[in-house]
Chain A
Amino acid sequence: MIEIDRLVKKFGDFTAVNDLSFSVESGQVMGFLGPNGAGKSTTMKMITGFLRPTSGTARIMGLDICATPLEAQTHLGYLPEGAPAWPDMTPRAFLDFIIRIRGLDKIASRTAFGRAVDMTELHGVLDQPIDTLSKGFRRRVGLAQAIVHDPDVLIMDEPTDGLDPNQKFQVRRAIEEMSEQKAIVISTHILEEVDAICSQAMIIDRGEIVAEGTPSQLAARSRYHGAVTLTLDTQLKSKAGEALADLAGTHMEVTTRGDETSLHVFAEPGGLEPTQLLAQVRERMSQHAIAPRALALETGRLDDVFGELTRKARPLEPRYGEASS
């Protein structure tokens, strides 16, 4: 498991990470979210012992990364941002090096090598220099390096960044497969990924935690949570609008994209329950003989929460023609 204990990192006057504390148990996948420059990578660099914290510390399986770095790092697998490797090496030589340096014995190293290669599906490229590989393969080489010694704790900085959808899927599946016995932290700014693989999520902005919880708990903080979204032909827009106009205790937002229009119906606070709202909307539609393309109850949108939380606190930049008061 990982315990982050009041981690602070300052670069001169700039505070990159400000008093961050959290913990990740074995079997959990923590999604670390935040805009660029929020302090995600800096935090990961401190957890893995690459950067020294200004104050605070991290414990890996109870071992303090600042006091006993080598012992802590034994339990750690780390995929740094951009999956760096030595470009002239082949994946085979690279993994061999990592296995040797981590001191795996002969038998263990053979199975470790096979397992890591299987998991990341590197068979076809084992003997090509890493810098001739595609971005997806390079990322998988980085992943193989991080998991080859079957670490208890896995820290991955944007493991799927720059991969195509198929490759993303593969990497996610690999992470899911491993997640049962490991404590995993991944950073990402792809929000669907959090839904897909994380059991816990945390949004940080300017080095501070602004929200944490399970992905669905976070999504529920969205204003879309409990709203009903009605998707229909744009021609039916005004008809549907009229049909719903007198629905008490609600308000509506409309977005049109080509021939498709979405109507979001929000219940006012203390008004209708989500399921009641859905039933009401459905009823109105059948009363007015409008056939929607889709009708759904929203569980909330992570991107909405993300935007809300990470933009809110920032001072707004003055726009043209707007006097700054």
Chain B
Amino acid sequence: MNTLLTITRREFAGYFSTPLAFVFIIVFLLANGLATFYLGAYFAVGQADLTSFFMFHPWLYLFFLPAISMRLWAEERRNGSIELLLTLPVPLSAIVVGKYLAALGFSTLALMLTFPVWLTVNYLGSPDNGVILASYLGSIMLAGGYLAIGSCLSALTRNQVIAFVISVVACFLFTVSGAPLVLEVFQSWAPQALIETLASFSLLTHFRAITTGVIDARDVMFFATLIGVFLTATVIVVDMKKGEGA
């Protein structure tokens, strides 16, 4: 546990050792604002809730989070520091989880810095803060899912750009698999069970469910399982590479 926190702390501090973190946070907040107020037409809707704020999170995260996760492993490989890390007397799982938690912590921090939006909506009206809280939690879970996928894919390569691109594609697939556009393609020929399974794999479906203000155990389980599976896969990939020597 102690080693896990030590790793998380080092990683987390690593984000702030370069201006990259600040650039990331600023761009993320700007993009969030633009999406909410222009695309989401926040004011025009005239409702005191944050639906138009949260509805864009899956699409924003799709590009922002692979930018965080791409460096998790690819950079260590390129840098050679992976050799240091993996020869320390620390279980591989602690390194994988420690790095992941740092990434999640960083994205959560970026998300928390959107609090002026919440202040605004409370100033303008009286929204259901329970729903907003649930949505924030849902957003963190969503970020957790994307980052776990990105962590696993980052472990596959030493090239950060490749890690970024394949992560975006993979996250995209996990997002759109619940979108009507995709499901319609399968509708005509695939059995209903398959379509439902496909839809249930979508982060979008589960995230939308949570943002209605209902934190259903099944949705939480979905994210927990997704994260667990991809972090386990990360451990397996890193361990496999030990055998290959790549």
Contact A51–B242 (Cβ < 8 Å) = yes
Q: Does B171 touch A at the CB level, under 8 Å?
A: no
Contact between A84 and B88, CB atoms less than 8 A apart: no
Smallest CB separation, A293 vs chain B (Å): 47
Within 200-247 of A, Cβ neighbours of B (below 8 Å) are at none
How many A-B pairs fall under 8 Å by CB?
76
Determine if B18 and A102 form an interchain contact, defined as CB atoms under 8 angstroms apart. Answer: no
Binary flags per residue of B73-93, CB closer than 8 Å to A gives 1, else 0:
000000111011011111100
The answer, yes or no, to whether B17 is at the interface (CB within 8 Å) is yes
Once the chains bind, are A88 and B14 in contact (CB under 8 Å)? yes
Q: How far is the CB of A295 from chain B (nearest CB, A)?
A: 49
A42 within 8 A of B: yes
Q: Does A34 contact B (CB under 8 A)?
A: no
The verdict on A70 contacting B91 (CB below 8 Å), with A42-B245, A88-B18, A100-B6 known, is yes
CB distance from B81 to the nearest CB of A (A): 5
Say if the beta carbon of A144 comes within 8 Å of chain B.
Answer: no
Known: A73-B89, A74-B89. A84 touches B83 (CB 8 A): yes
Give A133 Cβ to nearest chain B Cβ, in Å.
Answer: 15
Q: For A100, what are the chain B residues with a Cβ–Cβ distance below 8 Å?
A: 2-3, 6
Q: Which residue on chain A has the smallest CB distance to residue B10?
A: A97
**Number of B residues, CB within 8 Å of A:** 24
A residues within 8 A CB of B84? Answer: 78, 80, 84-85, 145
List of A residues within 8 angstroms of B90 by Cβ: 70, 101
Contact B83 A86 (CB under 8 A): no
Q: How far is the CB of B191 from chain A (nearest CB, A)?
A: 42
Whether A188 sits at the interface, judged by CB under 8 Å, is no
Q: Are B81 and A86 in contact (CB under 8 A)?
A: yes
Whether B6 lies near A73 (C-beta < 8 A) is no
The yes or no answer to B102 lying at the interface (CB within 8 A) is: no
Question: Does any Cβ of A come within 8 Å of B7's Cβ?
Answer: yes
Question: Does B243 reach chain A (CB closer than 8 Å)?
Answer: yes
Is A76 an interface residue, CB under 8 A from the partner?
A: yes
Residues of chain A contacted by B83 (CB below 8 angstroms): 45, 50, 78, 80, 84
List the A side residues contacting B87 at CB < 8 Å: 48-50, 73, 76, 78, 80
Contact mask A10-42 → B, CB, 8 Å, 1/0? 010000100000000000000000000000001
| Cβ-defined contact, A11 with B245, below 8 A | yes
Instruction: Report if A274 contacts B (CB, 8 A).
Output: no
B152-209 contacts to A, CB under 8 A, are none
Tell me which residues from 36 to 88 in chain A have a Cβ below 8 Å from any Cβ of chain B. Answer: 42, 45, 48-52, 69-71, 73-74, 76, 78, 80-82, 84-88
Nearest residue in B to A100 (C-beta to C-beta)? B6
Contact yes or no, A11 B242, CB < 8 A: no
Contact A97 B86, CB 8 Å, known A80-B80, A82-B80: no
Q: Across the interface, do A101 and B88 meet the contact criterion of CB distance under 8 Å?
A: yes
Report the nearest A residue to B244, measured CB to CB.
Answer: A11
B103 shortest CB reach to chain A, Å = 16
Beta-carbon contact of B242 and A102 below 8 Å:
no
A51 contact set on B, CB distance < 8 A: 242-243, 245
Across the interface, name the chain A residue whose C-beta is closest to B240: A52
Q: Which of A114-153 contact B (CB under 8 A)?
A: 129, 145
Question: Given the complex, which residues of A lie within 8 Å of B13, measured CB to CB?
Answer: 93
Q: How far is the CA of A103 from the CA of B94 in the complex (A)?
A: 14
B243, closest chain A residue (CB): A52
CA distance A11 to B243 in the complex (A): 9
The reply to whether the CB of A9 lies closer than 8 angstroms to some CB of chain B is yes
Q: B residues within 8 A CB of A89? A: 10, 14, 17
Q: How far, in Å, is B119 (CB) from chain A's closest CB? A: 34
Select A101's contact among B3, B244, B245, beta carbons within 8 Å: B3
Chain A residue with Cβ nearest B16: A88
Among candidates A11, A49, A103, residue contacting B3 with C-beta atoms closer than 8 Å: A103
| Cα separation A131 to B238 with both chains bound (whole Å) | 26
Given contacts A81-B80, A101-B3, 10 further A-B pairs with CB under 8 A are A11-B245, A50-B83, A52-B243, A73-B88, A78-B84, A84-B84, A86-B79, A93-B10, A103-B3, A129-B17
Closest 5 A/B residue pairs (Cβ): A84-B80, A88-B17, A73-B89, A80-B83, A48-B87
Instruction: Give 25 pairs: A residue, B residue, CB < 8 Å, sorted on A.
Output: A42-B245, A48-B87, A49-B86, A50-B86, A50-B87, A51-B245, A52-B242, A70-B91, A73-B87, A73-B88, A78-B83, A80-B84, A84-B80, A84-B83, A85-B81, A86-B10, A86-B79, A86-B81, A89-B14, A89-B17, A100-B3, A101-B6, A101-B7, A101-B88, A101-B90
